[in-house]
Structure 1
Amino acid sequence: MAKIGIYGSSFDPITNVHLWTASTVAHRCRLDRVIFLPCSSKRPDKSLHASDEHRWNMIQLAIDGNDKFVADDYEMKQAGWEIATYLTLKHYKEAFPDDDIYFIMGADLLLDIGEGKWKKSEELIQENKFIVMARDGINMLAAISKSPILRNADDGQTFHLIDKGLAMEISSTYIRDEFQRGGEPRYLVPDNCYAYMCQHKLYR
């Protein structure tokens, strides 16, 4: 039985922090594989700055050479109105029935789910396992205790909280802003991704 982490994000663009986070989570949680899952540009709640093709190509460049990292365009292929994390995790549990599936997310998303802002929030929490990464200013234990959705699923197995050393705040937004304003974010992204962005004049 393998342990697989599903790491969903816009990856617009993928950054060294994404890679470092995935590597650290895989090490601390003893994951056998991390699946990078870029979101679809067809989602009504997302406003993306690079095409699906460019984001996908940069992910492939970024994870090349790491046997634990794979990418999957599953959500990119779905109709925007049908995309929900609950359905995505159902897909992976059916695809890997003998393995343990974990959804990797930041504590800010845990707050949103706890407040019922996600589709099928209650079923999502009741039927899945999560690796939750610390975010500055968020008390994860307090968030769980305050939410009936979260605390009623807190059985010692549902949430793996990582509260030390993962609250890095360099974001894709920061990198896009640097490119747009003539800054230099070179060492915040993998070298081959930086070359790709320059070649295709992304985020300019």
Structure 2
Amino acid sequence: MGKVGIFGSSFDPITDSHLFLAKTLADLCNFEYVIFVPCVSSRGDGKKMKASDEDRWNMIQLAIKDNPIFKADDFEMNAKAGIGKQYTYHTMEYFKEKYPDDEHYFIMGADILAEIDNQSVQPHQRWKFREELIKNNKFVVMSRDNIDMLKEISKSPILRKYHDGTRFHLVDKGISMEISSSYIRDEISMGRYPQYLMRDDVYDYIVTNEIYKHTTN
């Protein structure tokens, strides 16, 4: 049985920070591989991607091609999965079915941990299938924005209920996404090309296809 990290994000575009984070967590958590899972453009939360699904998928392929521990899966982009209806619970169930002999960990930041069962909003505004998700999966949670991860767990009845010492692998070594995708998009939209914040092939793809050239964050 191998340990697998499931790394979901918009990857709009994928940056060197995404790759650094994935490799660092693979080393820390002994992941056999990390799977990049780009979300679909028409997300249920209303957030719209600046690049098309096809372009984001192509950029991921270019970024990870030289590292054998990196994989990508288009489950959440696939219309057969139900555009706009995917939830993290279903994504994790998909990977457990696809790789039944592996142990799966969902990678997220402390800010996402705080959102799952946020007690300050109405229940219908919290994550769908949140208890099923927490009950049936394991997580790698990265420190972010000075959020106290243990405090966030203690504030949520659901997170607290399943916090048994193995559910959440809390990483407090200062790993963060210092290069934001939105920063890259903003720079390109203003005619500046931040070449050294992403793989050369990704940079060339963006320039050649004029992605983000006329977009704003």
Q: Output the amino acid matched with 1:18.
A: H
Distance 1:9 1:167 in 2: 14
Is the CA contact 1:10–1:39 (under 8 Å) kept in the aligned structure 2? yes
- Correspondence for 1:33: 33
Matches of 1:167 and 1:139 in 2, distance apart?
Answer: 15
Matched AA of 2:59: M
2:175 is matched with 166
Q: Does the 8 Å CA contact 1:114/1:144 hold for their aligned counterparts? A: no
Q: Which residue of structure 1 aligns with residue 193 of structure 2?
A: 184
Asked if the contact 1:3/1:31 (under 8 Å) is kept, the reply is yes
CA distance in 2, matches of 1:140, 1:165: 13
In 2, the alpha carbon distance for the partners of 1:57 and 1:168 equals 21
Which range moved further: 8-17 or 139-148? 139-148
Q: Are 1:131 and 1:162, in contact at CA under 8 Å, matched by a contact in 2?
A: yes
SS in 2 for 1:80: coil
What 5-or-longer segments of structure 1 have no aligned partner?
A: none
1:116-140 Cα distance to aligned partner (Å, 9 max, x none): 6211111111111000111122111
Q: How many angstroms apart in 2 are the aligned matches of 1:195 and 1:54?
A: 12
How many aligned positions are there? 204
Instruction: State TM-score, norm by structure 2.
Output: 0.91
Q: Secondary structure at the match of 2:140?
A: strand
- Does 2:41 match 1:8? no
CA contact (8 A) 2:9 2:38 kept: yes
In the alignment, which of 107, 116, 131 is matched to residue 104 of structure 1?
Answer: 107
**Cα RMSD (Å) of the superposition?**
1.1
C-alpha contact (below 8 Å) 1:178/1:185 kept by paired residues: yes
Q: Report the Cα distance in structure 1 between the residues aligned to 2:83 and 2:127, rounded to whole angstroms.
A: 14
Deviation per CA, 1:142-168, whole angstroms, max 9, x where unpaired? 111111111111011110011113124
Letter in 1 for 2:108: M
2:68 match: secondary structure: coil
CA contact under 8 A between 2:21 and 2:176: conserved in structure 1? no
1:109 is aligned with what amino acid?
I
CA distance in 2, matches of 1:147, 1:50: 35
Q: Which runs of 5+ in 2 are unaligned?
A: none
SS at match of 2:166: coil
* Structure 2 CA distance for aligned equivalents of residues 182 and 145 of structure 1: 46
Q: Deviations over 1:90-128 (max 9, x none)?
A: 111111111101101111110111316211111111111
- For 2:82, the equivalent position in structure 1 comes to 79
| Residue identity in the other structure for 1:63 | I
Relative to the length of structure 1, the TM-score reads 0.96
Identity %: 56
**Residue of 187, 201, 204 corresponding to 2:210:** 201
Look up the equivalent residue of 2:73 and give its one-letter code: D
User: Counterpart of 2:88 in structure 1: which amino acid?
Assistant: T
